[in-house]
Amino acid sequence: MRLVLFTFLAALQFMTTLPVSLRRPVDSEDLARAGRYFPLVGLFLGTILALLYSVLILFLPPNLVTLLLVISLLALTGALHFDGFLDSCDGLFGYHTTERRLEIMRDSRVGSFGVAGGICLLALKYTGLSLVTPGLMPAALILAPLVARWALLCAVVIFPYGRVSGLGLIYKRYTHPPELVLASIFVIIIVLAFLGWPGLGLVAFIFGLTMLVGRWIMGKLPAGLTGDSYGAIAEITETATWLFIGAGAGWITGFSFFIKY
């Protein structure tokens, strides 16, 4: 039990900027085992966002609250996945060899594709969350980080890793299909609890999107995905979750017995 708690806290420390105190330093093997807890970290982040929303909406107009929530998620994650998305945009768009794409993605500088992609992503996040009705807002805030980190875990298990070294390779070696199955069951239960049966549509949509994005990336990087690719998939699916819930608010509410306006 202590090892489970330590591993979860290691995942929380790595994937967030929250002050996490650990009894010993985290090594690469600790981080490798932490991959199975990524969806739980997402649930933790989503809960913080929902609590923040419940306070901010009492004092500020909805549009400003939406903007602050998008910014807060960036701050809570230290823009970890956002940085991977920017690097992926720079490396995957444009005409380059595979080797050059990998070099560009390692470069800490952000190019024009990264800037354009980042602006579009944040605009879509804001738009998607703006479409969410007040009754669905807590569910949207809690589920998006959860589902996105589950999608990241799916990508780790299903697709090959495309570098000979790196943190992503460690996750690939230590994360196995049975752990993905357990994580998927956990995610489905949480999504059903918040959205009812329409939640299955969300899970299927995000899984399909993850497969499409992963295969598209492999068309650019035939050897496999990288750590930046995992971050990009997390950001894309997080955005897609808000768009799905926002655009389908009426349908979701109409079919769910758990949600009231």
Q: What is the pLDDT of residues 97-115, one digit of tens each?
A: 777 887 788 777 788 889 9
Query: What does the pLDDT read at residue 67?
Result: 97
Distance CA 224, CA 238 (A): 22
Distance CA 169, CA 151 (A): 17
Tell me the pLDDT band of 258, cut-offs 50, 70 and 90: very low
Query: What does the pLDDT read at residue 187?
Result: 96
Sign of the CA dihedral running 48, 51, 56, 62: positive
- Point out which residues pair with 161 in neighbouring strands: 225
Confidence check: pLDDT of 197 > 80 = yes
Domain boundaries, the chain: 36-249
pTM (2 d.p.): 0.90
Distance CA 24, CA 68 (A): 34
Confidence check: pLDDT of 69 > 70 = yes
Confidence check: pLDDT of 211 > 80 = yes
Helices (H), strands (E): how many in the chain?
13, 0
Confidence check: pLDDT of 251 > 70 = no
Tell me the pLDDT band of 230, cut-offs 50, 70 and 90: very high
pLDDT tens readout for residues 147-190: 999 999 999 999 998 776 666 667 767 778 888 999 999 999 99
Cα distances from 229 to residues 76, 220, 222, 234, in angstroms, run 20, 11, 13, 9
Query: What does the pLDDT read at residue 20?
Result: 81
Q: Choose from 5-19, 101-115, 183-197, 237-251 the range with maximum mean pLDDT.
A: 183-197
Q: Record the tokens describing residue 29, joined without a space.
A: 């093997």
Above pLDDT 90, what percent of the chain? 58
Sheet strands (E) in 133-225: none
Q: What is the CA radius of gyration of the chain?
A: 18
Contacts with 46 (C-beta within 8 Å, 6 or more apart), sequence order: 141, 142, 143, 144, 145, 146
